[in-house]
Structure 1
């Protein structure tokens, strides 16, 4: 094989590997189950949490989603918003430590919500909305461990909780940060109205996607430029020889 062809093949290989690596990394980063908004004020009342479930399989659909709510720091007054094509089953549990409120003592709280009957196809996602009456005041975050079941029987367990200072685990649980009440205005909190919460989440996701897309495009263009430079160098060198 001539020197020119060998150099061109190597340049093309570098370009392809660079572009593929960037696209794969972007896809992995977007595949986690997440909760929106990312934070609320401690003790917030009458709000909405949106659980976003993306499908990360190419040959199977998501057919079941199970979200577990913590009972050591319970979320009170949970209501599930209807979702077309899906049926929600709500499970309540006795609290080890009852919660005293202005309306009385709460001894039971929702511990699990299971959605079935619907389908999330490849390259798609679904938002599941959950309204709450009050968030706890005695913790800095809430982890909502989630199981995602696919049509081929595979179950992905989004249950790992990141420790302070550690990198994000492979299968992180959706986590809601709870901020001090006086810092609520500065924190990224969501309005109580469901429509406003969904609009804010959609706007944030759109911005993230745009930034990610521009970054990917820039790296791909850079890789193509390297390949073109290598081609020009080889041709010039060949002409001089």
Structure 2
């Protein structure tokens, strides 16, 4: 009798560990807030990007998203595209050192953009993209770190503010990073046109890259969910096998 109980306990533990491990791996595969496309925005120009916000909770919905812009590389123009069911607010701050844009001095820049649910939410197993038109992108850096704060309807707040470091392990709550490519002939020297001119053409170009990245992200999400289901089935099978084995030994 003691042997059968030992076997049953071990089988149940093994199944539970297998299921938990796979679920943990699948959860981290698609939980990060990110900015897309990455590596497609050129220095000195304008770009249209998407802030992608997945819901990483099974029992709560995302109702607020805040994206903060770096003060050491300020952007004079940050224009959000309307998203149905969400209210958007753009907050600006005065600059210690004015920017020069198209021959004009800019004394303030966008500090953050906040989206608040107004009839819509990001539910469990869902994600939402928030489009932004950015410019003029800086020429003296290879990336922009856009720290984000995600709020759920159960008042939980997740801060995606840890800056990833090259060659180091990914932090637990990495901040979204927009990588900047080398300036092209159209972008160099502040020759970029306003957002309603050339920015539209650039947006079309970036949307193609964004679709590829969205497809890849979707594939990753699907694979992670499949692995999670498989892990659960493996765990249940282990428990069932242990129960049957125990009954046979008892008989």
Q: Distance in 1 between matches of 2:209 and 2:69?
A: 20
Q: Distance in 2 between matches of 1:206 and 1:149?
A: 23
Residue 124 (1) aligns with residue 135 (2)? no
The 5-angstrom pairing of residues 69-108 of structure 1 reads 69-108=69-108
Deviation at 1:119, TM superposition (A): 1.7
TM-score, with length taken from structure 1: 0.77
Q: Distance in 1 between matches of 2:227 and 2:60?
A: 29
Alignment CA distance shift 1:220-1:147 (3 Å): closer
Q: Where in structure 2 are there 5+ consecutive unaligned residues? A: 185-201
TM-score, with length taken from structure 2: 0.74
Deviation at 1:12, TM superposition (A): 4.3
Deviation at 1:56, TM superposition (A): 2.3
The 5-angstrom pairing of residues 1-241 of structure 1 reads 1=1, 3=3, 6-7=6-7, 9-43=9-43, 45-116=45-116, 117=118, 118-181=120-183, 192-193=203-204, 195-196=207-208, 198-212=210-224
Cα RMSD of the aligned pairs, angstroms, is 3.1
Deviation at 1:136, TM superposition (A): 1.0
Q: Distance in 1 between matches of 2:149 and 2:140?
A: 26
- Deviation sequence 1:46-68 (CA, Å, 0-9, x none): 32111111222333222111111
Instruction: Give the secondary structure class of the aligned counterpart of 2:203.
Output: coil
Deviation at 1:103, TM superposition (A): 4.4
Q: Distance in 2 between matches of 1:39 and 1:50?
A: 13
Q: Give the length in aligned residue pairs.
A: 223
Q: Where in structure 1 are there 5+ consecutive unaligned residues? A: 183-190
